[in-house]
Amino acid sequence: MYSPQDIESYQARQVDEVSNIIGQPPQQTAILMRWGRWNKERLIEQYMDKQEEVLEKAGLSQDESTQPKVQAVDGFMCDICCEDTPGMQTFALNCDHRFCVECYRQYLVQKIKDEGEAARIRCPGEGCNQIVDSKSLDQLVPPELKQR
């Protein structure tokens, strides 16, 4: 029987190996591996054949050079809560679906606590396939939920 630590260690080794082969950062590779149901041979083959298509289907944007961050945007109104307070802190992934930090945080907390989702949370933008990466989760999720 494998312990959770054994499984995590195995998954980390798999991510590192595939990351070195396909040239993606480990964070994006982990998302790709989950999308590919941890079948590394099939994932590598699909990635090498149709890189852009695989990245899109897995919910990863093509441009990972711009990391999402919390920022205030002039004239912004949140599409979820309809607040437009000047200086309000907002957040958007590379897909540019921007929402206030409080709504984004509430969405993530609901996904993690109520639905048990953590690894494949999609952007709350309607019809968006972008996956919320672990760095973004670290920025927005309260500390008590980070272990989930």
Is 43 in contact with 32 (CB distance < 8 Å)?
yes
Rounded Cα–Cα distance for residues 147 and 133 (Å): 15
Q: Return the pLDDT at 22.
A: 94
Q: Please, what's the b/e burial string for 45-58 (b: 16 or more CB within 10 A of its CB; e: otherwise)?
A: ebbeeeeeebbeeb
Q: Return the pLDDT at 114.
A: 82
Query: Token pair for residue 23?
Result: 């040239």
DSSP string, 81-102: T----TT-EEEE-TT--EEEHH
Q: Return the pLDDT at 66.
A: 59
Q: Return the pLDDT at 9.
A: 93
Query: Token pair for residue 10?
Result: 């195995």
Q: Return the pLDDT at 126.
A: 92
β-strand partners of 98: 92
Query: Token pair for residue 46?
Result: 């699909």
Q: Return the pLDDT at 79.
A: 94
Per-residue pLDDT of the chain (148 residues; tens, 9 = 90+): 889 899 889 999 999 999 999 999 888 899 899 889 999 999 999 999 999 889 888 877 655 555 677 899 999 999 999 999 999 999 998 888 999 999 999 999 998 888 777 778 889 999 988 888 878 888 888 877 765 5
Q: For residue 34, give the nearest of 13, 19, 53, 15 by alpha carbon.
A: 15
Q: Return the pLDDT at 62.
A: 56
Q: Return the pLDDT at 97.
A: 92
